[in-house]
Amino acid sequence: MKESADEPGLVAVDVNRPRLDSSVVKALAVLEILSKADAPVGVSAVARQLDLDKSNVHRLFATLVELGYVQKEADTGRYFPTLKLWECGSAIVARYPLKRAAQPFLRLLQRQTSETAFLSILRGVEVMYLDRIDAAYPLVAPMQVGSRAPAWRTASGKALLAFQPDPERILDRIIATEPAAAALDRPARLEEFALIRRRGYSVSVNAWIPGISAVAVPILDLRNVPYAAVGVGGVSERFGPEHLEGVVRSVQTVAVGIAEALGIQPA
């Protein structure tokens, strides 16, 4: 199979490794392709991407359809994931200790700042949003629960990257493997990471979504390694100096509270 360990979100394993069932690995890879596609996907496209025979992919699809995870379009013969995947994921997230511990703090943060509060984790070179509490005013931003974003472009992602044990290595990997990051100014970004570590928080102003600003703080464990990030986002014109200062204080306080609730920092 062609998946790479440097390609975030895809199954990156050798099907010939001992104790791994190759059929399970292939089926999961198919599900990941379908879940990331913007439209139903055909057998040929999946076979090319995974370097598999079409007959093998046909059998995988037939099994996934029978189990209720995939559905076939009658008119095109292409496949798309059913809501069974969403049901499984939603049930897991609802019981996820991090989300359970953080949710009351997110609600508090939203009330204190009057902005949209969010919780995120690092997955490869992307940040994934685990929870979001919306502000009273509408915020058009793709920080939906379960969605991902380039870590190097978001406040939460930069907060998580800056506190990694080896941020230079991760940044080099991003620049080498992500076409959208090829033009990044490496020295400037490393300097930004150093500033984030000194201040303890990250600020993003119109960096990912025009007109949207965000503040994020890493939730650190006892080793000072980020476990997750908490932050708020809102319309940039609201983030004047006074409001920004108050937001930073609130987010920092909430980050400590979540760490203590999780038991990864002493209360």
Are 260 and 266 in contact, with CB atoms under 8 Å apart? yes
Does the pLDDT at position 121 exceed 50? yes
Domain ranges of the chain: 22-87, 96-262
For the entire predicted model, the pTM comes to 0.69
Share above pLDDT 70 across residues of the chain, in percent, rounded to a whole number: 90
pLDDT grade, residue 183 (50/70/90)?
A: confident
pLDDT at 120: 96
Structure tokens at 64: 């996934």
Supply the angle between the helices 22-36 and 54-67 in degrees, to the nearest 10.
80
pLDDT confidence bin for 6, thresholds 50/70/90: very low
pLDDT tens digits for range 123-176: 988 999 999 999 888 777 767 888 889 999 999 999 999 999 999 999 999 998
Residue corresponding to tokens 């708020």: 232
Distance CA 214, CA 115 (A): 9
- Pair 107, 99: CB distance under 8 Å: no
- Classified by CATH at the fold level, domain 96-262 comes out as Beta-Lactamase (3.30.450)
Q: Which fold has domain 22-87?
A: Arc Repressor Mutant, subunit A (1.10.10)
Domains 22-87 and 96-262 share a fold: no
